[in-house]
Structure 1
Amino acid sequence: MYRLVGAAGRAADPVPAAVAPLLAAHRAACPQADGAALLRAYAVAERMHRGQLRKSGAPYITHPLAVATILAGLGLDTDTLVAALLHDTVEDTPYTLAEVRAGFGEEIAALVDGLTKLDGDRWRGRAEAETFRKIVLAAAADLRVLVIKLADRLHNLRTLGYQPPHKRARIARASHELFVPFADRLGIHVLKREMDDLAFAASAPEAHAATRDAVDAALREAPAVFAPAVARVRAALAEQGVAAEVTVRVSHLYAVHTSTGGDLAGLRPCQVARLLLVVDGAEQDCYVALGAVHAALHPIAGRLVDHIAMPKHNLYRSLHTRVIAPAGDPMEVIVRSRAMHPVAEHGIVAHIRAAAGDGAAAGAATGRRDLDWLRRLLAWQADAPSEGFLDSLRADLADGGLTVYTPCGSIIPLPPGATALDVAYALGTDTGDHSIGALVNGRPSPLSAEVRDGSLVEVLTDPRAAPSPGWLDFAVTAPARVHLARVLAADGAERAAAAGRDRLARALAGRLDLLGAEARGAALAVARDLGFLEVDELYAALDAGAVGLADLVARLTAR
């Protein structure tokens, strides 16, 4: 142990050696931060987890401490780090949420609550799905819940070697399908890249090793390919009077694996690295720098993507272009300003860091209206049953791949294979329910028509139109499929109830007025006697054969 120096030079209480790296990382990013709250949280977490061990045999406290240290390295605020230290206490120890609230305040208690898994015994097979739904809802209130969860998963991936093979495969798959996409949606690419590669190593160790070796071999040739390109770009920038840092950025292994489809033969340096220009200047200087790049290196037509004018779903802003390097290789170049760079690397974390002091950090992570993906996710998750919720979530988080536009200027990201119907539902459930077709790039198209990247799509509607069961055959996105399933199920229930009621009315003809029995509550009383909350449920059960007609007639006529 060593001592921190307190106010007026007084020696503070001894600091456990285990927590010293966390305090140092936090002080490096937040020099004015008070470490007292961290020390109190560490003391609670260490005491509550005492005697618990990780699969590696290490004391369990090493896990929350590592999670908090990852977040400290990102520059997160004190409250976030305290919540990270306590994030497993309510779930795995006798420590209660009320104790968190009493000891550390409502804000930290809300973060810990959002991270606490639901009781598996109570929720049974629905626990995993409903836990993810809980995290999504908590993240809507404070995105730091999701940031802590990502750091938690990153540390679990770092220590995945201690898990049995079947569990390694499951954790790696879930990481690629759920956690990596969440990191991408929040723009935290420093976490996304490491999680990608760790999950890749766990799920496909041979492919990971082969990719690593191929990338290492390609990078040995990189100076000969990139040095002439960098020299030309720097000279062109100087001619334009633009100051910029020009570096070679190496892609992470999983990105190389997916971009090559695993075909690593003859891998070239430009397939594993690209040029990054960070411009010292305003937004317009990025476009001047882009012009300098195109003057120095021949641009490839149709390969310019402007994410400054049209930011990505995760607030990412940069210019992407492809050029021909002096050696003849296609080369990707990224241009962004110095102000854009922190968000490009750290996403939402950069906004939280930029908040003035810990007290404003929550405001930087809550109530954001510029994250359309979260708004859409919140809209459809409420209607999604536990069964199939994770599949819908995976589909919704899958890489966009496509971007389509509408005449009113809306920009809609979609997964590959998306149709005009998906565009309709992305514009709102009312538009989707009443859609009858679309104009894709000015040409009439059915709702089942697949849309292409960059298409201009105008949805055609009719107020008399309604969803058809056949739409589920070509709806791709989670919002469309979840809404359609709910609407069609409700329609089916209404039809079944109407058919059951009609059958009962015919059986009662001449003996009892069914409408009168409904009006005086006799029908509802019989329904409740049989375990149904509503009369329509009873009628639907009759139509399905779950309730006998003769028995129902006897019960009603006896009242």
Structure 2
Amino acid sequence: MYTVEELALTLSQYLPYEQVAQVKRAYYYAEQAHDGQWRKSGEPYVTHPLAVAQILADLRMDCDGLTAALLHDVIEDTGISREALTEQFGGGVASLVDGVSKLTHLEFNSQIEKQAHNFQKMAMAMADDIRVILVKLADRLHNMRTLNSMPAHKKRRIARETLDIYAPIANRLGMYNVRVALESLAFQAYYPMRARMLQRAIHKKYGQRTKDTEKLEDFIRAELAADYIEATISVREKHIYSIYQKMDKKHRSLGEIMDVLGVRVVTDRHDSCYRILGVIHSLFKPIEGRFKDYIAVPKSNGYQSLHTTVLGTNGLPMEVQIRTEEMDLVANNGIAAHWAYKFSGNSAIPSNHDRATKWVKSLLEIQQKAGNAIEFVDNVKSDLFPDEVYIFTPNGKIIELPSGATPVDFAYGVHTEIGNSCISCRINRRLAPLSTQLESGQTVEIITAKNAQPNVAWLSFAITGKARTNIRHYLKGKQRENAISIGYRLLTRSLNAFKTNIEDLTKEQVDQVLNNYQLASMDDLLESIGKGRHVGYLVARQLFPNYDENTLVTPKSFKVNGSEGMLISYAKCCSPIPGDPIVGYVQVDKGIIIHHLNCPNIQDHLSSPERFIRMAWSKDIEEELNISLIVSYVNERGAVAKIASSITDTDYQVSNLDIIERGRISRLRLNITISSRVGLADVMRRIKAVRCVEKVSRETIVGR
């Protein structure tokens, strides 16, 4: 158990006397506020905020951050108001305490919506002041250290949310020591038997290595000293959760996870890192493809180090990390190293603080454009679990992206407008698909066009939060625009039956319908009709409740011109193409689905006749649609090749060819892109002309 005097002693190493005094005053204020309150472990409650402050003091947190840490439960648990804290400790501290208080009761349970909403709250609190999340991480770390006093079901829940949310955030902020501590404690609480068995197995296999590791340290130290290089060497075992993850993800046994040991070499100067790398590679054989230079190209959380994997004296792989003392501080404490630099008077404050702030700002942008909390969390997952690749722009600027990112992610990483107007790309000067997964070191050039727009297909391969949020945001705006346009046409068509149009409606008529449907504007009503939530005919009927049904005029057919956008689609059951007789069915949130007039599936919808629309193809339509042909042919040598080659010199594309029945007379399914019935007749005539073909028919439910 910590005491306030021990905390003051730590603080006196880097804070002036008057600031240490303020922190002590905050402790006595918290002690009085929490008087009579006890933790589940039986200790006075004030021991918890004191321990949280001690964790942050070891990270060299500033005075206001430490004061907030000591008071972080005061608003929530003691009834003391934010105003009272402002009066005692100032607005900055009160704001921090309030930010942490709002996160105190995060309940990450099975209710996905609630979990997502709470994580969204956390991101917003981080955006106001990054110290809020540092206090919360320290709070969580102490709670994990004292988890044994909790009931089993709560232990598992807290451990799960620690692995899912808090450890990844600590990792994203570069706080290695905090992340490892959280992961190890959470692993032991969530999988106690696995943790015990794995720990025993590791100790049995590698536990006798103490003398070997000491010899290894002395050997490397002596070799570096011979080259007049000063360095601190430590050989350590990788932490248990890291080993478990490797075993779990790669489906390997402990014996197959060979690089359990790691060597860290910390030196005083930047150039010494590369000299040490040369010495290490002369002593041990490097493993090809396992060298990473995070000094020249730092990770997105500010981490810098040289990584190389070599074969040790025992023939087992061994990871070596080489870095300076400053890099080691940043690697262990991440964004918290910002305050350590601040107090040391070093002007070269590490850029990881700026990187973290930039990341949090990107969360704000994603949150503002996300439709709901679940979408927000879905979009930031890849940012929370980054395994980075580093891509160059044509000008040599480096863009950091998660592993698996594509040129679309890269385009949005450069600028939102470049992403929105991107049409293709060059990777290392060669044209490549936008779905290509990028690799570190590639140079990517994005080709844009003025009138280009995001494609819904991009969502199947874009992985960064920024790209996915902007694509969805654009498509939602475009979908509303399309829905209003289609809704206008549908309502106009319905009003024509009443011998009027939208422009002739009175304000009273419109207001009455908007009130009935609880909508704010005419655009909202048109959007709702376009999306199929309301039916144009029923809306028109409400506008003219006393109209004589017998005098209604039959509305004109709805013309399909191919430019309606994503709210008009073609039924896959009957695959209608231009020239076919068609009918439209208005489906909620999907808009108009076009069926062949003879499609049996439309019989299922006859219970809602008001949702059917007479449809017709526009004369100038050039829509390309997929259909399937069934070809029966004599199974002779080269028959399939002859059938396929019969249409290779046309403009029609074969997307798939599948043999569905083998025998003397075989059958195959040919999927082909067609733009009209004339084109279909041409293709069928060409296939029928092949000598071995017996019959060609269009595969639809209609023809079965």
Residues 1:107 and 2:92 aligned together: yes
* Cα distance in structure 1, aligned partners of 2:494 and 2:105: 47
Q: Which residue pairs with 2:379 in the alignment?
A: 392
Q: Which residue identity is paired with 1:85?
A: L
Relative to total residues, which structure has the larger helix share, 1 or 2? 1
C-alpha spacing 1:555/1:182, structure 2 compared with 1 (3 Å): farther
Instruction: Name the amino acid aligned to 2:534.
Output: A
Residue 189 of structure 1, CA deviation: 1.2
Structure 2 residue aligned with 1:276: 264
- Give the counterpart letter for 1:322 in structure 2: T
What is the alpha-carbon distance in structure 2 between the residues aligned to residue 208 and residue 522 of structure 1?
70
Q: Which residue of 2 aligns with 1:342?
A: 329
- Measured after TM superposition, the shift of residue 466 of structure 1 is 1.5
> Could you tell me which of 437, 442, 452 is aligned with 1:465?
452
1:46-57 matches, within 5 Å, as: 46-57=31-42
CA distance in 1 between counterparts of 2:53 and 2:228 reads 43
Aligned to 2:153: 166
Q: Deviations over 1:289-326 (max 9, x none)?
A: 22122222222233221111111111111111122222
Q: 1:240 aligns with which of 190, 202, 227?
A: 227
Give the aligned partner of residue 421 of structure 2: 434
TM-superposed CA distance for 1:82, in Å, is: 0.9
Partner residue in 1 for 2:583:
none
Counterpart CA distance in 2 for 1:161 and 1:546 is 56
Q: Offset at 1:367? A: 7.9
Query: Deviation at 1:267?
Result: 6.8
SS state at 1:138 partner: helix
Equivalent in the alignment of 2:363: 377
Give how far 1:33 is off: 5.6
Q: Which residue of 2 aligns with 1:266?
A: 255
Name the CA distance, whole Å, in 2 between partners of 1:252 and 1:383.
38
Does the 8 Å CA contact 1:129/1:386 hold for their aligned counterparts? Answer: yes
CA displacement 1:404-423 (0-9 Å, x = unmatched): 33333343444444333222
For 1:409, what is the secondary structure of its paired residue? coil
Q: Distance in 1 between matches of 2:215 and 2:351?
A: 43
Q: CA shift at 1:192, angstroms?
A: 0.9
Q: 1:192 to 1:477 in 2, by over 3 A?
A: same
Partner SS, residue 47 of structure 1: helix
Question: Equivalents in 2 of 1:507, 1:265: separation in Å?
Answer: 71
Aligned residue number for residue 214 of structure 1: 201
1:550 matched residue in structure 2 = 540
Render the CA deviation track for 1:161-212: whole Å, top value 9, x for unaligned: 2333333222222212221121112221111110010111112112211222
Task: Give 1:468 shift.
Answer: 2.3
Map of 1:4 onto structure 2? none
Which letter maps to 1:139? M
Determine the structure 1 residue equivalent to 2:608: none
Deviates more, 1:309-318 or 1:292-301: 292-301
The 3 A distance-change label for structure 1 pair 423 and 327 is same
- What amino acid is aligned across from residue 101 of structure 2 in structure 1? T
CA distance 1:538–1:49, change in 2 (3 Å)? farther
Q: Does 1:70 align with 2:58?
A: no
Distance 2:482 2:219 in 1: 71
Change (3 A) 1:29 1:333: same
SS of residue matched to 2:286: coil
Identity of aligned residues (%): 36
1:415-434 equivalence runs, <5 A: 415-434=402-421
1:474: Cα distance to partner? Answer: 2.2
Contact kept, 8 Å, 1:355 with 1:364, in 2: the verdict is no
Point out which structure has higher relative CO (alpha carbons under 8 A, 6+ apart). Answer: 1
CA distance in structure 2 between the aligned counterparts of 1:222 and 1:31, rounded to whole angstroms: 45
- Secondary structure, aligned partner of 1:499: helix
Number of residue pairs matched?
535
Deviation at 1:54, TM superposition (A): 3.1
Instruction: Output one character per residue of 1:220-244: Cα deviation in whole Å (capped at 9) or x when no partner.
Output: 3435654554444334323332111
Q: Aligned pair in 2 of structure 1 residues 56, 356: CA closer, same or farther (>3 Å)?
A: closer
Consecutive unaligned residues of structure 2, counting only runs of 5 or more, are: 548-704
The alignment partner of 2:488 has SS state of: helix
TM-score, scaled relative to structure 2: 0.68
Displacement of 1:370 in angstroms is 6.8
Structure 1 spans left out of the alignment, 5+ residues: 1-15
Q: How far apart, in 1, do the equivalents of 2:253 and 2:70 lie?
A: 42
- TM superposition shift of 1:147: 0.9
Letter in structure 2 aligned against 1:266: G
Q: Is 2:33 the counterpart of 1:44?
A: no
Tell me which amino acid in the other structure corresponds to 1:69: Q
Give the Cα separation in 1 of the matches to 2:10 and 2:362. Answer: 36
Provide the residue aligned with 1:137 in structure 2: 124
Match in the other structure for 1:88: 73
Output the TM-score relative to the length of structure 1.
0.85
C-alpha deviations, 1:495-533, integer Å up to 9, x for none? 221111222223444855534659x89857863674322
Q: Which amino acid aligns with 1:419?
A: T
- Secondary structure class of the residue paired with 1:387: helix
> 2:260 touches 2:318 (CA, 8 Å); kept in 1?
no
**Further displaced range: 458-467 or 245-254:** 458-467
Deviation at 1:347, TM superposition (A): 1.6
C-alpha spacing 1:556/1:534, structure 2 compared with 1 (3 Å): farther
In the alignment, is the contact (CA less than 8 A) between 1:120 and 1:127 conserved in 2? no
Asked whether the equivalents of residues 393 and 445 of structure 2 are also in contact (C-alpha less than 8 Å), the reply is yes
In 2, the alpha carbon distance for the partners of 1:61 and 1:93 equals 12
Q: Distance in 2 between matches of 1:549 and 1:329?
A: 75
Q: Partner amino acid for 2:492? A: A
